[in-house]
Structure 1
Amino acid sequence: MLDHSVIFPTLAFLFAAGFCSGAMNSLAGGGSFVSVPAMIATGMPAVLANTSSTIALWPGTIASALIYPNSFRSICGVGKWPMLIVTLVGGLIGSLLLLHTPSSSFTIMLPWLLLLATLALAFGRRIAIAIEGRFHGSPLVLVAQFILGIYGGYFGGAASVMMLAVWCLFGETDIKALQGPRSLLITAANTVAIIIFLFARAVLWPQTLAMLAGSLIGGIGGAQLGRVTPSHLVRIVTLGITIAITCAFFIKTYWRH
């Protein structure tokens, strides 16, 4: 018999975490910085927390992709279908790798994944602009996209920012025009990963649905807030949250008393 004095506060906490995650994703990205740690905080194993978080935030990625229904195009001189295929294959491999990673190992890796995502959020676009167009060649673009697909299926934090940064390295200059392909390819990697997670039954539904509901409402609220909030303030708050959570996980994982 469920202890309602425990389960209801837990679900309320995850709903609130989902709200924050959805708002962050809508404003600047980085929602997994809140969703995954929140799942872990409820006692969920790290791998299961990541799979459940991916499912909980997936409707938000679908909503973003639907904003750009006709913007799927070639990228860096590579056709849209090869880019989609390598992203799907990468997402498939990443999701399978995650499911075969022991939770104890993923717990050790998580601070480093968060650090990578934090650096991408903080410096990705700046680095891309600084060395824009230095690399060329469609095979290299496909290899890079394949690796991004693996990352998206495995963890995915700030993957959309990484995609924009990598595409800029290969000569894309119109960031606004890349928003559609980015949203669609991130959604593709997440979708194939979620299919694998569902078949593997790697999801705790009460917790996931609570976070999913919160993320949908948070995404709507974040979109409205983004219209009136200065972009630099959104960036500062987002980076503050991501840096704080990353530092907390390094301390928790590696600090020895």
Structure 2
Amino acid sequence: MTLPQAVLLFLAAVLGGMLNSVAGGGSFIGFPALIFTGVPSINANATNTVALWPGVVASAGAYRRELARQPRALILVLGGTSLIGGVLGALLLLRTPQQTFTLLIPPLLLIATVLFAASPRLTALLRQRRAAALPATPVATSDLAQAQARTLSAELPATSTLAMRMEKLSPSKLVTVSFFQLLIATYGGYFGGGIGILMLATLGMMGMENIHEMNGLKTLLAGLINGVAVVTFALAGAVFWPQALLMVVGAVIGGYGGAYYARKIDQRWVRLFVTLVGVAMTLYFFINIYILGHSGK
């Protein structure tokens, strides 16, 4: 790794960390940057997974309160499924020929870009569903009635959440969501772009309505998927550690900076920028691999 390559990777990691802290999509920066600096595609994917994992773990820690509300059985089932799928996906990646994976880069980036671009719409639909599911707060006129109404209003979400917990623990729904989570985790261990929105869709299908609890569970599961993939890649010797450690430092710095400026930046513009980067990277690799025939790495 030359000095210019190190500078490029560090700056890419800083930018990727900032994007992840504001709107997500840091993979669109880090993964191509590794390939641009000469890292083979499979090793670039493994190294990028290592670089992103600490940020995912930190995000999961921020959702401790939301995760505490989830039934332990649900976390154990989905967590176990995520670990199995993450290992399967990572092993599948390691068994994929380098040239074959390189040929898969454009469609994988396209899938991740589409999922990223569609995520605000899905999140809005989930919020609307959450609002529609809550009973209307009673109209009160007297002071006593208003106090009772406020008490009832405060209790309604908890009651709704409790009912939702009991519903989502039905065996049929657990089996269904575990199957989809296994598929998502396998994809996550293999490549991973867009797994967050896929998990939100699956949790919504299961009956979850609180978007904050969904984000907490999604982040925890993503941390498990990436974590077990990191261990698998490390044991297989697929990680370029100098690049990975450099990018971890850059991502942490970028994450803190992005969190500081997050309230001042319109996320719509950030998401548009990330989407355009995803489209540009997809087109670049499509032309470079399919038209120019540069698929040796």
> Structures share a fold, TM > 0.5?
yes
Written as runs of structure 1 = structure 2, the 5 A alignment for 1:40-189 is: 40-72=35-67, 74=70, 79-127=74-122, 129=125, 137-189=173-225
Question: 1:67-105 deviations in whole A, cap 9, x for unaligned?
Answer: 122432548x97221010001100010111111111111
1:126 Cα deviation from its structure 2 partner: 2.7
Which 4+ runs in 1 deviate beyond 6 A? Answer: none
Q: Does 1:224 align with 2:219?
A: no
Q: Note the residue ranges of structure 2 that are not aligned, 5 or more in a row.
A: 131-171
1:206 partner letter: P
Q: 1:154: Cα distance to partner? A: 0.9
Distance across 1 between alignment mates of 2:260 and 2:271:
16
The question of 1:26 aligning with 2:21 is answered yes
Question: What is the root-mean-square deviation of aligned Cα atoms in Å?
Answer: 2.4
What letter corresponds to residue 203 of structure 1 in structure 2? Answer: V
1:36 and 1:124 mapped to 2: Cα distance?
21
Amino acid at match of 1:42: T
- Cα contact 2:82–2:181 (8 A) shared by 1: yes
| Deviations 1:168-204, CA, capped at 9 Å, x for gaps | 2333222222111111110000000111111111111
For 2:211, give the aligned amino acid: I
| Higher-Rg member (1/2) | 2
* Whole-angstrom CA distance in 2 between matches of 1:100 and 1:186: 22
For residues 91-124 of structure 1, give each alpha carbon's deviation from its aligned partner in whole angstroms, at most 9, with x where no partner exists.
Answer: 0101111111111111111111111111111124
By percentage of residues, which structure has more helix? 2
| 1:14 aligned to which of 9, 16, 32 | 9
After superposing the two structures, state which structure 1 stretch, 156-165 or 29-38, moved more.
Answer: 156-165
Q: Name the counterpart of 2:278.
A: 242
Q: Is the counterpart of residue 190 in structure 1 residue 190 in structure 2?
A: no
| Bigger RCO of structures 1 and 2 (CA < 8 A, at least 6 apart) | 2
Residues 1:214 and 2:209 aligned together = no
Q: What corresponds to 2:33 in structure 1?
A: 38
From 244, 269, 274, the equivalent of 1:233 is 269
Cα shift at 1:231: 2.2
Q: Distance in 1 between matches of 2:283 and 2:47?
A: 23
TM-score, reference length from structure 1: 0.89
Unmatched 5+ stretches in structure 1: 1-5
**Identity level (%):** 39
1:93 partner amino acid:
L
C-alpha distance in 2, partners of 1:174/1:242? 29
Query: Do 2:28 and 2:274's aligned partners in 1 also have CA atoms closer than 8 Å?
Result: no
CA distance in 2 between partners of 1:164 and 1:107 (Å): 28
Partner Cα distance (1:7, 1:91) in 2:
32
Secondary structure of 2:103 counterpart: helix
Moved more, 189-198 or 159-168: 159-168
| Separation of aligned partners in 2, 1:86 and 1:168 | 18
